[in-house]
Amino acid sequence: MILTYATHKKWVFKDPGIKIIGLQSPIAYCDIIQGFQGNNKMLLCSEDNYSPLDIGKTFDFIGDPLLSGDITKKYMPHIVNNYLKSLDEENRDKLIRSLYSLESILQDSLLLEDLPLAINFDEDLKKLLKYTEIHLDKALLIHPYGIIETVLKIYQTCDLKTIPVICNVAHYLEKEEWQELASLVTEMNLILVVIEFTTKENLATPKDIPFYFIDKDLIDWY
């Protein structure tokens, strides 16, 4: 896959792993962030044969792992669908029987009321999960590394096809955590794009992570 920012040299993402886009120019940083958000046309994306791709359908802009709120919340529909798809017949039957039991208790109790009350009942387990407010354990989403790891696990579990884009990872990770994250992304056979506002010298990451840098004068160093 090929990604291009305005008139700059193209970025080619072929192999799984982390791809770091380092920017020292505020202009380039804003352009690229807004490009991934679909708010400008500064980014162009294509297949290796130059067939055009839609930025919004190819990338998933997540933002800052701490400052963007609960970045895992938008994945809950995918998680619920994957859970229901993988639910075995025995547990599905148990849930349905429990629902029928609950319906029976409610119906009996409503007969005791003076008003002619009734309930609408169906076997939609998705509604049940919504009612119970199924969510990820917040205790696992405190540390930035844990948040990023959880997003990657969601991608792997739910077989999501877009490419996640995260900002400011260098604000939160030590060099050893960078290495752990790089190994995890590669093992999961995923691509993770990381955008950093930084100087070329200040970004302390393992040397084997691809690093595409545009300096304050908008000159490419890659």
| Residue range 133-163, pLDDT digits in tens | 888 988 878 899 999 999 999 999 999 999 9
Domain finish residue from 112, 132, 152? 132
Verify that 165 and 123 share a domain, yes or no.
no
The predicted model scores a pTM of 0.88
Domain membership of residue 150 as a residue range: 2-74+137-221
CATH code for position 150: 3.40.50.11940
Verify that 156 and 59 share a domain, yes or no.
yes
Q: Which residues contact 220 (CB under 8 A, 6 or more apart)?
A: 8, 9, 212, 213, 214
Verify that 53 and 141 share a domain, yes or no.
yes
* 188 vs 98 pLDDT, higher one: 188
The whole-chain average pLDDT of the chain stands at 92
Verify that 142 and 58 share a domain, yes or no.
yes
Residue 206 clears pLDDT 80, i.e. is over it: no
Verify that 67 and 157 share a domain, yes or no.
yes
Report, as an integer, the average pLDDT of 75-101: 92
Per-residue pLDDT at 123: 75
Per-residue pLDDT at 138: 85
Verify that 99 and 61 share a domain, yes or no.
no
Domain finish residue from 132, 149, 175? 132
Verify that 111 and 99 share a domain, yes or no.
yes
| Distance (Å, whole) CA 166 – CA 76 | 19
Q: Give the range among 63-67, 89-93, 109-113, 212-216 with minimum mean pLDDT.
A: 109-113
Tens digit of pLDDT for each residue in 105-138? Answer: 888 888 877 777 777 777 788 888 887 888 898 8
Verify that 180 and 169 share a domain, yes or no.
yes
Cβ of 28: how many Cβ atoms within 10 Å? 21
Verify that 145 and 114 share a domain, yes or no.
no
Residue 1 clears pLDDT 90, i.e. is over it: yes
**Count of domains observed in the chain:** 2
Report, as an integer, the average pLDDT of 78-107: 90
Residue 53 clears pLDDT 90, i.e. is over it: yes
Per-residue pLDDT at 154: 97
| Distance (Å, whole) CA 5 – CA 28 | 9
Verify that 149 and 214 share a domain, yes or no.
yes
Supply the DSSP string of 163-221, one letter for each residue. Answer: EEEEE-GGGT--HHHHHHHHHHHHHTT-EEEEEEE--TTT----TTS-EEEE-TT--EE
Asked if 43 and 32 touch (Cβ cutoff 8 Å), the reply is yes
Verify that 70 and 83 share a domain, yes or no.
no
Verify that 190 and 146 share a domain, yes or no.
yes
